[in-house]
A and B are shown apart, each in its own frame.
Chain A
Amino acid sequence: MKRKSKPRPRDEEPKISIIERKIPFFLISRHILRGNKWTLCLVILLMAVAFINLVFINSLFNGIVESSDNQVINTTSGNITMQQSPGKEFIDNASGVLAQIRKTPRVVGASSRTVVPASLLYKNLQGTYQIYAVQPSLERLTTNIARKMIAGSYLSDSDTDSIVIGRQIAGGKGVEMNATSFKGAKVGQKISLVMGDAIKEFTIKGIFYTKYFEADRQAFITQKALDTMQPFYANRTTNIIIRTQKKGDEAPVISSLKEEIPDGQFITWKEASGLMKSVTNSFLTINALLTSVGFIIAAVVIFIIVYVDISNKRRQIGIFRAIGIKSYLVSSTYILQSTIYSVVGVAIGSIIYFAIIIPYFKVHPFKIPLGDVSLFVNYIDFMWRAVTIIVVSILSGMIPAILATRKPILDEIAGR
């Protein structure tokens, strides 16, 4: 039987049809089903590792910043610190001010911390540390020092001759700042508080260890002990530490406090963090730099993977074009391929990250002088990174794919 003759070519103009758009999906599904499984796994694993690298560094720095922020709040400044008004040496009527603060909405605790201008003398070693007089029952509501005792116990309100000191003051073998410490002071031993001409002997009631080096260089006596030693301090203090319900409540609480105590000087933990602020800012800068480098590495890795893959299939690309498969469909195949690689890589990377890496570092945190650091995931940031790496992958696949389909067909077939 003779064939029917075909319509003239000029009668059929090329159009982009819905039907032809199945070609990339068809080709990529066959590539995944029948291609080299090891290569496919390796490529996806590489993508997953590139993604984990990107989020791990970020989470680590977020963890360091989060840990140091929490340490500042929990051990030294609370969420808000009230300081003496300019020109004044003390906050007078401390008990009245404390009562007023505790009534403020979203405040869960407030305690006075009076700076004791004194030095400590242990055996023949004398040192100047941060010494505070506190009301222990109130202090427990604002900081976690009382829960960080590694020897002995915390102060009680009635103590008048007891002192608790940080591990960096007590010193001993393995203590980071042993050189400037008491090199092994123990609970039950005596320490003298030297305040001008007055000297008073205290018994070490407890030693605490917050893992935050600045907090661990603090020593605490009770306000009652200070009042006994220097009655001048009665109902006066230098700082009041305020704890809010949650981080982020600082601004509205300060604004409420200012209405109640107009001449009060309130600073947030961020403002009080001082040295820590510059440390965390440095970490954020390093994080941004490493993130950029991570993106470049991920992009280059993906580009190389797709480029090598396309280079190995140049002849096939040429053949496809020669038999009439439109160039955009051929390049779409490789763009779809890099999209699938990156989406699956990010998904697998996320599973590994949340199921293995984060739980592991929760149990085995990094130990740094700011405290124990585990990974802290900012979910918006995480999503942003996932989307960015997918977009970078698509672009990395798009460039060699489009370049490959712009070459002359015969060069592609010949692999030139």
Chain B
Amino acid sequence: MSNFATEPEQNIITVKDVVKTYHLGEVDVPALRGVSLEIKKCDFLVITGRNGSGKSTLLHQLGLLDLPDSGEILLDQEDVTKMHEKRRTSLRLRYLGYIFQEFALAEELTALENVMLPAMMIESISSCRERARKLLALVGLEGLHDHQPNQLSGGEQQKVAIARSLINDPVVLFADEPTANLDSVAAEEVMELFGKLNREDDRTVVMITHEAEEANLGNRLIRLADGVIVDEEKE
């Protein structure tokens, strides 16, 4: 069996001339106007831009949450835009991890159960429980396993979401303004965690942020304006 993007510098995601337009009633709103991009293994790609520049739309295309109107998105050289939704769901489960702006945890599950949930799709509860405990320890939430989201602070909830995104050992982590709803201390802790995951764990990270300090954390930065990449910086 061949392996997924084994070497650094190997492209994990290739975006070719992606176009996406939203239709709001009778008004067409172009969100992406021919974006092309390559994301390599171990990249920490930061996407910035003003509101409405197309950042989230691009992240959703990269993360297989939405389909472009035209263009290609190759995940390890396979065009995901032509895949059946079932296959895209399977890829999201096994290869991609998500951290949303508003934590997005299931209210009726404990921290441990929220983390375990994606893994329960592919293995038994007992086998994923131990891994979920370790991940909660990794993000510094030992002792809070049995807390439900409403018993956790914003920063703690976001850490649970990060642990959940890691449970199936994803190849790429996508984070959509993960610190937007956090105080400065919690935001710093979360960003440290992303840095650690990228540096020490060879995890590819794609993150949207408005914060200049956070943008400096990545090894690559692209700036979007009006649906096109207007600037790109590499470390």
A residues sitting closer than 8 Å to B (CB atoms) are 2-3, 5-14, 17, 19-20, 22-23, 26-27, 30-31, 33-35, 315-316, 319-327, 329, 408-410, 413
Contacts and interface: CB of A to CB of B under 8 A. Distances in A.
B98 A322 contact: yes
B98 A5 contact: no
Contacts of A14: 86-87, 89-90
Contacts of A324: 89-90, 92-94, 96, 118, 121, 168
Given A7-B3, A30-B113, A410-B65, A325 B86 contact: no
B164 interface: yes
Contact of B60 (A5, A19, A320, A410): A410
Contacts of A11: 1-2
Interface of B: 1-6, 60, 63, 65-66, 75-76, 78, 85-87, 89-96, 98, 100, 104, 106-109, 113, 117-118, 120-125, 148, 164-165, 168-169, 171, 201-203
A180 to B, nearest CB: 69
Contacts of A7: 1-4
Contact of B120 (A2, A22, A410): A22
Given A11-B2, A17-B122, A323-B164, A6 B169 contact: yes
B189 to A, nearest CB: 22
Given A13-B87, A34-B148, A323-B98, A8 B2 contact: yes
Given A14-B89, A34-B148, A5 B4 contact: yes
Given A12-B90, A324-B121, A325-B117, A319 B66 contact: no
Contacts of B117: 23, 26, 320, 323, 325
18 contacts: A3-B169, A3-B203, A6-B4, A7-B3, A7-B4, A9-B75, A9-B94, A11-B2, A13-B87, A22-B120, A23-B117, A27-B108, A34-B148, A320-B117, A323-B117, A326-B121, A329-B121, A408-B66
Nearest to A36: B108
A322 B65 contact: yes
Contacts of B168: 324
A327 B3 contact: no
Contacts of A410: 60, 65-66
A5 B8 CA distance: 11
Q: Is the interface of B mostly helix, strand, loop or mixed?
A: loop
B184 to A, nearest CB: 26
Given A316-B107, A327-B85, 9 more contacts: A5-B6, A9-B76, A26-B125, A33-B108, A320-B106, A320-B117, A321-B89, A324-B93, A409-B65
A89 to B, nearest CB: 82
B4 A19 contact: no
A10 B203 CA distance: 20
Nearest to A319: B104
Nearest to A324: B93
| Cβ-closest 9 pairs across A and B | A324-B93, A14-B90, A5-B3, A324-B92, A319-B104, A6-B4, A34-B108, A5-B6, A30-B108
A325 B118 contact: yes
A163 to B, nearest CB: 77
B89 A8 contact: no
Contact of A8 (B4, B106, B169): B4
Nearest to B109: A30
B124 to A, nearest CB: 7
Contacts of B78: 9-10
A327 B88 CA distance: 12
Q: Which of B96, B106, B201 has the most CB of A within 10 A?
A: B106
A323 B108 contact: no
Contacts of A322: 63, 65, 92, 98, 100, 104
Nearest to A34: B108
B147 to A, nearest CB: 12
B128 to A, nearest CB: 10
A35 B107 CA distance: 9
Q: Which of A19, A316, A321, A323 has the most CB of B within 10 A?
A: A323
B158 to A, nearest CB: 14
A146 to B, nearest CB: 67
Contacts of A408: 66
B122 A9 contact: no
Contacts of B4: 5-9
Contact of B118 (A12, A315, A323, A409): A323
B94 A323 contact: no
A323 B165 CA distance: 8
A6 B125 CA distance: 22
A19 B89 CA distance: 16
A325 B123 CA distance: 13
